Homo-oligomer: A and B are copies of this chain.
């Protein structure tokens, strides 16, 4: 898009300048560290204008990521009935988005995440702050366990998207969504709410930065 110089309300360049500034800020400082004030300053506009264009900071992040779904709409559906059956509802909702026309955008997003370190950092920040953190809050998981539990969920769901939509490994790529739901829901349910005593015994400071294990690892 050709850039024009005048940045006024209603000018598409203003919108674009805010998005560019926000993209840099979210990647460099993370979602929590990037303030609307800083983003506005980077775009050379008034903070009120950022709110005017995008609303709350999480909506601005969604616009930056151009994600083909709205966590504000989907998360309440997944979390509504509490911990029981949340694995099944999460996998079913995940596959409904990917199997919809929005799925093509998802594949494009996945490709760009993987080929570009900058996009990968943004996506990690988006998944953690906009999806996993809110899912944890909604499920009332033990705070010390929640980060590892949700990153395990991320590992299964990212892998499901990769295997089914990008690598297209058969038969998983071709089965009806409900088959994948029945197969994978128990995994997600266990990661979220199952007894992971042995996991947390192996990981004495859950959620803390990585440490070198002090015991002798059983690498028989």
Interface residues of A (CB under 8 A from B): 92, 96, 110-111, 113-115, 120, 123-124, 127-128, 147-148, 151-152, 154-160, 162-164, 166-179, 182-184, 186-187, 190-191, 196, 198-199, 202-203, 206-213, 217-219
A43–B94 Cα distance when bound, in Å, is 45
Give the contacting residue for A169; candidates B110, B127, B159, B164; CB below 8 A: B127
CB–CB A217/B176 < 8 A: yes
A191–B162 Cα distance when bound, in Å, is 17
A158 contacts across to B, CB distance below 8 A: 159, 162-163, 167
Give the contacting residue for A155; candidates B148, B162, B212, B218; CB below 8 A: B162
Would you give the shortest CB distance from A125 to chain B, in whole angstroms? 10
Nearest residue, chain B, Cβ from A183: B199
Give the contacting residue for A199; candidates B169, B170, B179; CB below 8 A: B179
Give the contacting residue for A190; candidates B110, B164, B172, B187; CB below 8 A: B187
This chain: copies in complex: 2
User: Contacts A158-B167, A170-B147, A172-B151: A178 and B202 contacting too (C-beta < 8 A)?
Assistant: yes
Would you give the shortest CB distance from A57 to chain B, in whole angstroms? 21
CB–CB B124/A168 < 8 A: yes
User: Contacts A202-B182, A203-B179: A163 and B174 contacting too (C-beta < 8 A)?
Assistant: no
Nearest residue, chain B, Cβ from A169: B151
A187 contacts across to B, CB distance below 8 A: 156, 187, 190
CB–CB A219/B115 < 8 A: no
Would you give the shortest CB distance from A117 to chain B, in whole angstroms? 10
CB–CB A182/B164 < 8 A: no
A152 contacts across to B, CB distance below 8 A: 172, 183-184
CB–CB B171/A147 < 8 A: yes
